[in-house]
Amino acid sequence: MDEDAVLYKITRLLEQGCTMLATHHDCGAPLFRCKGEIVCPVCSFPEPPAASNEHLSASTPAPDSPRTVRSPSHLRSAEVAEEPSGRAGDEQWPDLAARLRSSLLRRLQELAPAIETEQDLERLRRELDCVEGLLRAFKALQQ
């Protein structure tokens, strides 16, 4: 991947509000924290179909989000807005909250063994940051 493509991807991550970290990936690129996930601008993106040394053109946009970032983008606000009554969100909230609670607990269960065995202090710090975020989200759901 040429330097211009890497700089373009880094710029896109910064425009999306991602934070550039002081650590670097094995490929030499700086790591970013995007929506709670740590991503590499070089390795976390799929290669464009025409992967050559040509410059990126306006007709070949870079992906807007890395593969490792998971967001509830599939939950469109238009789906809730289609409901005629204002109670649509109120009726769906208990089910959504239960599913979210279940997902948060599942993630905590996945992280627990990793925290116990992790030897790399930087990875341990990132895992603990994830646990802290999960616990904050869980606490917010309880309120």
The sign of the dihedral angle between the CA atoms of 9, 16, 110, 126 is positive
pLDDT tier for residue 34 given thresholds of 50, 70 and 90: confident
Question: 3-class SS at 116?
Answer: helix
Q: What is the pLDDT of residue 48?
A: 52
With a CB cutoff of 8 Å and minimum separation 6, the contacts of 90 are none
Q: What is the pLDDT of residue 76?
A: 37
Question: 78-92 in b/e burial notation, b at 16+ Cβ within 10 A?
Answer: eeeeeeeeeeeeeee
The beta strand positions in the chain, using DSSP E, are: 19-24, 30-34, 37-39
pTM recorded for the entire structure: 0.38
Q: Which of 5-19, 39-53, 62-76, 85-99 has the lowest mean pLDDT?
A: 62-76
Q: What is the pLDDT of residue 27?
A: 84
Q: Which of 23-27, 87-91, 99-103 has the lowest mean pLDDT?
A: 87-91
pLDDT tier for residue 47 given thresholds of 50, 70 and 90: low
Q: Beta strands 30-34 and 37-39: pairing type?
A: antiparallel
**CA dist., res. 90 & res. 65, Å (int):** 30
